[in-house]
Amino acid sequence: MNILEMALSQYGVTEINGSKDHPQIISYFNELGFDGAQLHDETAWCSAFANWVAKKSGYSYSGKLNARSWLNVGQSTNTPGVGDVVVLWRESRTSWKGHVGFFIKETKGFVYVLGGNQNNKVCIQAYPKNRVLEYKKLTKNG
């Protein structure tokens, strides 16, 4: 299964409000070696989702829960294709905070990203292009 198919297979997975956690979101953490039961589905999980998808698809991945860790994975590109990684800044370009997901398409002003923890679920969302830090092409493992 390629990256896009793997990510789309999770479309609609949504956080559960309150003390219960969505078991699939917990598994994103667990399969990366983190304790999902300790982290809960309210923990920022965009990077956990991207790691899970890349790992399950046999591609390189960051293994970290911060979105900007993806700046150190794969090859930078100025011409992203469907399924490439999009790393965005959050709050400010210089903060440590970010968001990560998979490239779907772009328009003049927006990039469309398939990612986890977008409105607390796996979905496609548009982000202003000026928030993009980098596009990355992942390398296949093996």
- pLDDT single digits (tens) 75-115: 999 999 999 999 999 999 999 999 999 999 999 999 999 99
The pTM of the full predicted model, rounded to 2 decimals, is 0.95
Task: Tell me how many degrees the CA angle 63-118-78 measures, rounded to the nearest 5.
Answer: 65
What average pLDDT does the structure give for the chain? 95
pLDDT at 13: 97
Task: Starting at the earlier edge strand, list the strands of the sheet with 75-77.
Answer: 75-77, 132-137, 85-89, 98-106, 110-118, 121-128
Which residue, 83, 46, 80, 79, is CA-closest to 65? Answer: 46
Tell me: pLDDT of 142 over 80: no
pLDDT at 26: 95
Which phi and psi (to 5°) does residue 112 adopt?
-100, 125
Backbone angle region of 121, left / alpha / beta, with phi > 0 → left and psi within -120 to 50 → alpha = beta
